[in-house]
RNA sequence: GCCUCGUUAGUGAAGUGGUUAACACGCAAGAUUCUCAAUCUUGAAGCACGGGUUCGAACCCCGUACGAGGUACCA
């Protein structure tokens, strides 16, 4: 008996991991790490009908990618294995029979038809539907008789009928229920397999789990869990029930009709660190005012006292903002490495200064998937309207833009191909600005417009000219002049 | 229906009987800049409702409304 904290994440392999699941795993991981304890992964696959091929790998991959490495689990082993519930099947029935012996459980031979009928009658008369205890007090002889006759049976928990049961939850406080509302739930199914609820209790105990972190959909069955722990004489773990993560005010997040799975978010251009950071904040608040944390920092900061009682709505805007913050923290090299595939989606040109491009892109990127649209003008000048030259704040219009471009063109054309760099272009542009005696924007806005053909660009005219190179810059300026002249001709 | 839980700005939230009710995202305005971003400054916006208890309530109690979860031989 050690006092080390042991937490577990116990998913069912029934599909993808959505962020709500991942958050539960994250909290379990953080709590263990904060206390220098162990984080255990257990696969709960007692329901063969819902088993989805490949789901276990998704669980492994997601947790690993998020950095939630488990200390014990199916693949890494550990002292209290096996860590796959279906491989532990032998033990559960024994425990259930032990409960029958001690009077905390009983054999039930009711078939499904009777139970369905019972439920219908109860519902029709407005009584809460629950098992009526038909087999609750069968004598030993009666039970043996039916057993010998080979009648299928289940084992049910015998809950007290009177009094109340209370338990403590670290998030929700003390919760008390009337025992009369507790159903005699099934522990062992007809097929001899344990139900989730029973397997969970036995597994958590035999694996030495000290803190049970799970969604609050289990809040109302917790009293029955505790009755089980008490019947066995086992220590009750600390319960930490987490509120759900919502898609909107009334709907839980679900990957069915959305995109809430971790892998989708990564595919959409989010950084894993940002996603992990964000979901930590969904339903939990750190003590101080900072909210950007690495996984290690989270493990330090984490405190169950900060877990909220009410559901949290998944907010893509905030996730994006956090993602942007993480992107800005990257070095230019790291940023470029991650951004390059996205740049290459629309910008195939090989002869550009990628580092310079990365520098311009980095503060303007919240999501990597924003990038292709931002750099698509590099390969080919988009078609655009001359009205784009009109900008109130820049004090430009098609007319004075034409003047500026005509003045700038020969000046830039005179620059040696080998001298084509930021400093030089800057120098030439400002000479022209000085010569014309106009505001900077009057020359630079037309330049930017002519060579990008876009309303918004990641960088100003000088930056873009450098990126594009002399040849392309000159060609696009000529194109711009032609467009402006054509428009002027058409008008006058 | 019954049981349990929840409700602080649009969103995430701090707050545990006396505060100008933090902070972050978003929004608006301004500064800055050759656009857009980034950055900095400022602003608008909130205790679900009704009763108590108290000198005093976002905080305690009761009720109402709304919402969620549970009520399976699913997990």
The 10s digit of each residue's pLDDT in A22-56 is 999 999 999 999 999 999 999 998 776 777 788 89
Please write the tens of the pLDDT for every residue from A141-179: 999 999 999 999 999 999 999 999 999 999 999 999 999
Percent of chain A predicted with pLDDT > 90: 86
The answer to whether A308 CB sits below 7 Å from nucleic acid chain B is yes
Is A355 annotated as catalytic?
no
C-alpha to C-alpha distance for A235 and A448, rounded to whole angstroms: 71
Q: Prior bond to A474 cis, omega within 30?
A: no
Phi-psi region of A365 (alpha: psi -120 to 50; beta: other; left: phi over 0): beta
Residue A255 has pLDDT above 70, yes or no: no
Helix, strand or coil, per DSSP, at residue A211: strand
- The mean-pLDDT minimum among A244-258, A262-276, A463-477 falls in A244-258
DSSP state of A14: S
Chain B positions under 7 Å from a protein CB?
A: 1-8, 10-16, 22-26, 33-39, 67-75
Residues 6+ apart with CB under 8 A from A269: A323, A342, A367, A368, A369, A370
CB A27 within 8 A of CB A213: yes
State which residues between 56 and 95 of chain A bring their CB within 7 Å of strand B: none
The answer to whether A50 CB sits below 7 Å from nucleic acid chain B is yes
| pLDDT given at position A1 | 41
Backbone angles phi, psi at A248, to 5 degrees: -145, -170
Please write the tens of the pLDDT for every residue from A192-202: 999 999 999 99
Distance A309 CA to B52 C1' (A): 26
Residue A21 has pLDDT above 50, yes or no: yes
Please write the tens of the pLDDT for every residue from A312-337: 999 999 999 999 999 999 999 999 99
How many beta carbons lie within 10 A of that of residue A114, not counting itself? 12
| Smallest CA–C1' separation from A320, nucleotide | B25
| pLDDT given at position A297 | 95
Residue A258 has pLDDT above 60, yes or no: no
Specify which residue's alpha carbon is closest to the C1' of nucleotide B24: A291
| pLDDT given at position A53 | 82
Residue A257 has pLDDT above 60, yes or no: no
β-strand partners of A188: A155, A194
| pLDDT given at position A46 | 77
How many beta carbons lie within 10 A of that of residue A135, not counting itself? 19
State which residues between 97 and 126 of chain A bring their CB within 7 Å of strand B: 110-112, 115, 119, 126
C-alpha to C-alpha distance for A106 and A93, rounded to whole angstroms: 12
How far is CA A259 from each of CA A40, A64, A152, A253, A255, rounded to the nearest angstrom?
A: 27, 20, 43, 9, 6
The answer to whether A242 CB sits below 7 Å from nucleic acid chain B is no
Q: Which residue has the higher pLDDT, A491 or A359?
A: A359
The answer to whether A218 CB sits below 7 Å from nucleic acid chain B is yes
Percent of chain A predicted with pLDDT > 70: 98
Per-residue pLDDT band for A256 (boundaries 50, 70, 90) equals low
| Smallest CA–C1' separation from A189, nucleotide | B73
The ipTM assigned to this model is: 0.94
Per-residue pLDDT band for A81 (boundaries 50, 70, 90) equals confident
What is the arithmetic mean of pLDDT over A374-403?
A: 95
| pLDDT given at position A184 | 96
* DSSP assignment of A301-343: H--GGGB-SS-EE--HHHHHHHHHHHHHHS-HHHHHHHHHHHH
C-alpha to C-alpha distance for A32 and A93, rounded to whole angstroms: 30
| pLDDT given at position A335 | 97
Helix, strand or coil, per DSSP, at residue A149: coil
Rg, Å, chain A Cα set? 33
State which residues between 177 and 216 of chain A bring their CB within 7 Å of strand B: 177-178, 181, 183, 185-186, 189-191, 193, 195-197, 216
What is the arithmetic mean of pLDDT over A300-306?
A: 95
State which residues between 347 and 376 of chain A bring their CB within 7 Å of strand B: 363-364
């Amino acid at each position: 008996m050690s006092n080390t904290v042991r937490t577990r994440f116990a998913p069912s392999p029934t599909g993808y991991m959505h962020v709500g699941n991942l958050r539960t795993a994250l909290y379990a991981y953080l709590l263990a790490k904060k206390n220098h304890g162990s984080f255990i992964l257990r696969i709960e696959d007692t329901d063969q009908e819902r088993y989805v091929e490949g789901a276990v790998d998704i669980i492994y991959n997601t947790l690993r990618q998020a950095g939630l490495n488990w200390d014990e689990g199916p693949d890494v082993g550990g002292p209290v294995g096996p860590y796959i519930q279906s491989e532990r099947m032998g033990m559960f029935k024994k425990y259930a029979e032990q409960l029958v012996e001690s009077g905390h459980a009983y054999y039930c031979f009711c078939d499904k038809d009777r139970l369905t009928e019972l439920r219908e009658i109860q519902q029709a008369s407005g009584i809460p539907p629950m098992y009526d205890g038909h087999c609750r007090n069968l004598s030993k002889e009666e039970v043996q008789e039916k057993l010998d006759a080979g009648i299928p049976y289940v084992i049910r928990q015998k809950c007290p009928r009177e009094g109340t049961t209370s338990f403590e939850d670290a998030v929700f406080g003390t919760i008390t229920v009337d025992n009369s509302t507790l159903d005699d739930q099934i522990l062992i199914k007809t097929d001899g397999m344990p139900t989730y609820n029973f397997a969970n209790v036995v597994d958590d105990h035999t694996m030495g789990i000290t803190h049970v972190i799970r969604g609050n959909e289990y809040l109302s069955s917790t009293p029955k869990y505790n009755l089980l722990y008490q019947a066995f004489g086992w220590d009750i773990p600390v319960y930490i029930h987490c509120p759900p993560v919502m898609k909107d005010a009334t709907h839980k997040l679900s990957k069915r009709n959305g995109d809430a799975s971790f892998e989708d978010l990564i595919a959409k251009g989010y950084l894993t660190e940002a996603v992990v950071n964000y979901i930590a904040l969904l339903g939990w608040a750190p003590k101080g005012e900072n909210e950007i944390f690495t996984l290690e920092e989270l493990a330090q900061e984490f405190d169950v006292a900060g877990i909220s009682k009410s559901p949290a709505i998944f907010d893509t805007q905030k996730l994006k903002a956090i993602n942007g913050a993480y992107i800005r923290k990257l070095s230019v090299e790291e940023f470029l490495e991650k951004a390059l595939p996205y740049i290459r989606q629309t910008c195939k040109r090989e002869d550009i200064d990628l580092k310079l491009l990365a520098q311009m892109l980095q503060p303007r990127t919240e999501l990597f998937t924003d990038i292709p649209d931002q750099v698509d003008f590099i390969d080919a000048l988009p078609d655009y309207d001359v009205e784009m030259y009109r900008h109130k704040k820049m004090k430009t219009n098609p007319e004075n833009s034409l003047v500026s471009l005509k003045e700038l063109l020969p000046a830039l054309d005179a620059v040696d191909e080998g001298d084509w760099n930021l400093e030089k272009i800057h120098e030439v542009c400002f000479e022209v600005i000085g010569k014309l005696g106009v505001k900077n924007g009057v020359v630079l806005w037309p330049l930017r417009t002519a060579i990008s053909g876009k309303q918004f660009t990641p960088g100003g005219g000088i930056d873009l000219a450098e990126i594009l190179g002399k040849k392309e810059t000159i060609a696009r300026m000529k194109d711009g002049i032609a467009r402006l002249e054509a428009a002027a001709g058409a008008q006058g």
